[in-house]
Structure formats: C-alpha cells, structure tokens
Structure 1
Amino acid sequence: MLERKRIAINQATTRTQWGFRDAVEGYSRHGVKGIGAWREGIEELGVRVSKKLLDDNGLAVTSLNRAGPLIGLDRKAHLAAMDDARRAIDIAAELEAGCLPVMPGALPPQSRDIGGIRAQYSAALAELLPVARASGVVLALEPLHPMVAADRSCMNTMTQANDLCDALGGGLGILVDVYHIWWDSRLQAEIERAGKDRIVGFHVSDWLVPTRDFVFDRGMMGDGVIDIPLLRSWVEQVGYSGFVEVELFSKDWWAKDPEQVVQLSIERCLTVV
C-alpha cells in the first residue's frame, strides 16, 4: 500500500475551483504533503509570501509548472521565452522545488520538420542547463502522448527523454506521467535505463475509454485502462521513492466540489495506485 505521506496533488486537479492559496490550504487540510505548483498564482501572490504559505501548511513543492514553450517561435519570441525560463529557474530555486518541467512547444505553422524542432529543444535545454545547475534546479523532461506532438510537445517517449539526458549530462530529470506513456512497449526498459537518479516525479491519472478530449478528459485513478500499480512497481524497482502526484486535467472533475475531488484522489491513491 502507498504511504499517505507520499501523496501529492498537482494544482491542475483543482485548476478551476481553487487558486494557489486555496489549493495550498485545501490540500493541507486533507493531510497532503506535496503540491505541484503553478507559477501564475505564485507570481501574483509573490514568491516570498508563497514560500511562507507553503511552509506554514507543511507542503513541499514537487514541481513548478513550468518553463516554456521554447520552440516553434520567431527569434524575438524565443528570446523572451528563454528569459522567462530563467525567471522560472529563479522561482523554482527560491521555492526549493523538486524540479522545473521544461515544455518544448509545437511545430510552427506550415512546418513538417519535427526533427528540426526536436534539435531546437535540445539546444534550448543546453543553453538553460548552466543556469539551472548553478541554482541547484533540476530541469524536468516530461514525455507527452504522441497525440500532442504537433500542437503541444515534440518530446513523446521515455526513449527521447533518456537520449536527451545522455546527450546533455547532469541537471536533467524525467517526469513519468502514466497518462502519457502507459501505451509504450519500451516503457519498462526505459524506466530501468533512467534509473533512480533521473526519475524526479511520478504522475497519476487514468485513460478513459472513450476519451472525449485528449487534454481535458483524464480519468480518476481506477476509472480507466492503465495498470497504474504495475507502472508504479517499475519506478520503485529502480529506486524511486518520491511523491506519487495526482494530476487530473478534467472538465468533469473541475465541475465537482474540490474538497470531494481531493478526498477521492487520496482514497484512490491508497486503494488502486
């Protein structure tokens, strides 16, 4: 059984019901110890005030969402995105966040050059890594499902993430999100390849059949087809012992009472994850 202290909740789970302060206080009321935090609310409240709020409620920041997108932009927009990514690194350092996910981005209009876009992402990471290393911040690669390769992220498999880690060296980690990678026949081998040192997070939700929206129709754990306990066993076999983080992008769950959503998320983590 999953230890309760290892349960974290990403703000995406209560995205439309609670802002940052409400999420911190709400998750804490339910005994949650980790939060996947989003920058918007933190920057609105102020980083120092946000840090005190987190500390007062006993919550660690598992990840700070996010830096990027960094690619598929004209030069002016790209430079602005890189400056914003450096700002995100500073905030992640101040909050002592477990990692900072770095979103690649989409293919530019009319482009078919996904290989070129992936090369741009690698170059952008290489530019950011010295800043992140100096700040003690781990940049997280999060493979997203191939269905969003054209319009959200050109990094779609654990194999790609491991290849980038091999090529660019220390300072990178991998977020394992079961929703995006459960289908991959190489998943177990690539989790083993990543090992304890690279895996910086484990996100859970479920794949519903049918799926009505490829971004905003994730299922509560246990309601879909993903064998989450099996995938969790694979990351734990290589030494991962960090947070198990609920991340529900779901219009259905956003329409419900957030107190009930959080409570059920905890119950499902304890029973079916």
Structure 2
Amino acid sequence: MSAHPRLSINQATIKHASLRQAVDATVRQGVQSIGLWREPVADVGLAEAARMLADSGLRFSSHCRGGFVTMPEGAERRAAIDDNRRAIEEAATLAAAGAPGSSASSASLIIVAGGIPEGSRDLAGARGRLEEAIAELAPEAQAAGVTLVLEPLHPMYASDRAVLSTLKQALDLADRVGSPAVGVVIDSFHVWWDPDAEEQITRAGRDGRIASYQVCDWATPLPADVLLSRHLPGAGIIDFAELTSWVTDAGYTGDVEVEVFNAELWAKDFDEAVADTVEAFGTHVGTHLALPVRG
C-alpha cells in the first residue's frame, strides 16, 4: 500500500530510531511528513537536524514536546519555562527547514501540561500555573511564528503527566490567554471517550485552534505501564470514520500524525514499523480523509 499523502510519522512511533534512521525510514516508505522529538534533535544538534530535514524533502508536522510547567514559582519553574523558550526556537528552525505544503501550522510545538507537583494535591493550582506559563510564552511564540499546541491527555494521566484532560479545558485556557499562537491537538487516544468531543472539535475549528490531528487506537486490557497502551489504527475500538469526519468538518486539512507508544511496535525493524503504520493508516484513517490540495 502506498502512503497516504497526509500521513505523518510521529517519531515516537519508532522511538528507538535516531533522527537519521527515522528520516530515512520515513522517506523509504514513501511517507511525506514527519513529526520530530526534541531528544533525537538534540543528539545531532539543531543545525544538523534542520539540514537533515531540508535534504529529506519531508514536511515537518510538529515538534514534541514542550510544557511540564505546573510546578510552583522558583528556580525549577524558571528553568522549565526557559526550556520551553528553546523548544519554540527549535520548532521555528525546523519548520523553516521542512518542505512546504502542509495547510496546517507547520511550526507546531506540542505542549504537555505536566502533572501535580510531588507532595501536592492542588490540582486547581497546577492548572493555574500551566495557564500562567502559556500566557508568558505566547507572545514569544507568536513572534517566532510558532503555535503552542495544547494537548489534553486522557484523565488517567492527570496526576503525573497532564492536568489538562479535555478539549474543553484546553480551549477555555486558550480563550483566556487570548493569543492566536495557542492551539490544540486532537489526539484520538485522548478524546475518543469524551461525550463533548464533537462539540469541542467543532468549536476548535470555528475558532481556528486546530493545529494538529494525531491518531492511534485504544484497546484493553491496558498494560501495567499505561504510557505504552497505544496501538496502530484498527487494533482497538476507536471509530476513526466518525472522529475523522468531525475533524474534517471542523476545517482541518493538514497532516495527520500517527503517534504510537507500544513496546511491540518499537521492537520491530524501523522500516517494518513504518510500513505497518502506512498500511494501518491507509485502511482505517486515510479512507476517511480528503486528499490535500498542494499549491
């Protein structure tokens, strides 16, 4: 099966690949877009990563990740916010190096909120500190041409990874900050269960806040490490026809990332893992997507 032109391989799907290996496997399997993670970029250096991306001809769909800014004010928080400033610079540089063509914001920095600080039970306070950090960073992101892409995570991650759990919470935060540099990602794994998902996806589209659409599947039983509980589309219970129609009807026409955290997939040869992703996406997601119009 040939790769759908809107498919993007999020590098987490082949987590153990170096940047060079990830780029090469993506190109060999005919995929046109890639989402990168900061650690492999740092391993080679930003300038070299940008050169690799430019030479590959791939589009750049997102940079993962910023955030983790829910701790109280102090040296640790300042360091975290400064690290997000560096992530903004990285996203801008990589977006400039990627091939043109995605109709979504190509300078997208995915933001994972962070959990409740150790020793605390103050969920509201953690959410408030997230909002303060986004408000502080938004002007700098806007000046750099980068979208801070809020990613609400499934509530099972609220304690340790993301106090932002629903699209409504993310969109409400974006509205309060009031910056066009704040958007959201719709991740199937995190929103499929939400009874308000259709309404909030429509709202996100109306407000111009959909910066990314990520897909993977949900299947039970969950493994002991629930971070590794994602599956390729078609291996679980998510209705991708319905969800994709909501995202499409909301006006999103950009790249669609497959982001899978799964130990069995990670153990495969990188080309095999990407080929499996191409097939699963084409069968279960791509059939519900309009083809892109590239200028």
Using the size of structure 1 for normalisation, the TM-score is 0.96
Deviant stretches of 4+, over 3 Å:
none
Cα deviations across residues 197-253 of structure 1 (Å, max 9, x unaligned)?
A: 211111111101211132112111101011112111100011101111110101111
Q: Which residue pairs with 2:13 in the alignment? A: 13
Q: 1:48 and 1:190 mapped to 2: Cα distance? A: 38
Cα deviations across residues 61-97 of structure 1 (Å, max 9, x unaligned)?
A: 2111111311125611101111111111111111114
Task: Give the AA of the match of 2:32.
Answer: K
Q: 2:35 and 2:3 mapped to 1: Cα distance? A: 18
How many percent of aligned residue pairs carry the same amino acid? Answer: 42
Q: 1:44 and 1:269 mapped to 2: Cα distance? A: 29
Worse-superposed segment, 171-180 or 54-63: 54-63
SS at match of 2:149: strand
Worse-superposed segment, 37-46 or 18-27: 37-46
SS at match of 2:43: helix
SS at match of 1:36: strand
Q: Which residue pairs with 2:125 in the alignment? A: 116
Q: 1:74 and 1:216 mapped to 2: Cα distance? A: 31
Q: Between Structure 1 and Structure 2, how many residues are aligned?
A: 271
Q: Which residue pairs with 1:152 in the alignment? A: 161
Q: Which residue pairs with 1:30 in the alignment? A: 29
2:204 corresponds, among 187, 194, 212, to 194
Asked if 1:171 corresponds to 2:161, the answer is no
Asked if 1:126 corresponds to 2:138, the answer is no
Q: Which residue pairs with 2:46 in the alignment? A: 47
Gaps of 5+ in 1: none
- Is the Cα contact below 8 Å between 2:70 and 2:130 reproduced in 1? yes
- Is the Cα contact below 8 Å between 2:113 and 2:163 reproduced in 1? yes
| 1:3 shift after superposition | 7.7
Using the size of structure 2 for normalisation, the TM-score is 0.89
- Is the Cα contact below 8 Å between 1:217 and 1:252 reproduced in 2? no
Q: 2:274 and 2:232 mapped to 1: Cα distance? A: 11
Cα deviations across residues 137-159 of structure 1 (Å, max 9, x unaligned)?
A: 00000010000000111000000
Gaps of 5+ in 2: 96-105, 286-295
Cα deviations across residues 162-192 of structure 1 (Å, max 9, x unaligned)?
A: 1011111211111110001100000000000
